[in-house]
Every structure is written in C-alpha cells, then in structure tokens.
Amino acid sequence: MSETTPPMDASFSIIIMSIASSAAMSMGLSPNQDNKIEIDKPLARFNIDLLTVLKEKTLNNLTSEEKGLLEHIVQDLQAKFIQLK
C-alpha cells in the first residue's frame, strides 16, 4: 500500500469483496496483477465455495446489509461460473 492510499478498515464486507475479486479474476472477468486475463476454473470454484462456507457459518450473525451483499455476490458469481466455457 502506498503512502497516498488511505488505510482501509477491516470489515466483513472487505473479506467478501476480496474473495469475490479473486473469484472474478479466476473466471477471467477482470485482469490479474499482471494485467492479464486468465481463467482458472478450479480456483474460481474454490473462491465461490469459500463465500458459500462463510454464508453458512455466519447464518443469523450478519447485519441485513452484510447478508444481502453476501447473498447477491454468491448468486452472481455462481451464475457467471455456470456460463464459463
């Protein structure tokens, strides 16, 4: 992190977005750190599964916003994963 980048607060939403970002990169939906588009279906599936585990393990312990974010992201990533060739 550079000195000009403001520090981020650690939160459950940041965890969700971090794992989702990794899933998106693994599905070729966004470039990786080398600015390349690569598809790694097993890694994408793993990251989606991680989010699903978080969803199951945090049941009834999330705010409505956190729950909604997690549900939306898992559904969206699962739909995009199914569309992968």
pLDDT per position as a tens digit, 30-53: 888 889 999 999 999 999 999 999
Instruction: Report if residue 43 sits inside a domain.
Output: yes
Span 51-81, pLDDT tens digits: 999 999 999 999 999 999 999 999 999 999 9
Q: How many Å apart are CA 24 and CA 73, to the nearest integer?
A: 10
* Residue 5 resides in a domain: no
Say if CB 55 and CB 70 are below 8 A apart: yes
Domain containing 77 equals: 12-30+37-82
Strand ranges (DSSP E) for 4-78? Answer: none
Q: Which pLDDT value is given to residue 67?
A: 95
In a domain, 45, yes or no: yes
Distances (CA, A) of 26 to 7, 23, 41, 65: 26, 5, 7, 26
* Residue 7 lies inside a defined structural domain of this protein: no
Q: Degrees (nearest 5) of the Cα angle 22, 83, 14?
A: 25
**Rounded CA gap, 28 and 44, in Å?**
9
Name the domain count of the chain.
1
Q: Which residue has the tokens 């939403």?
A: 13
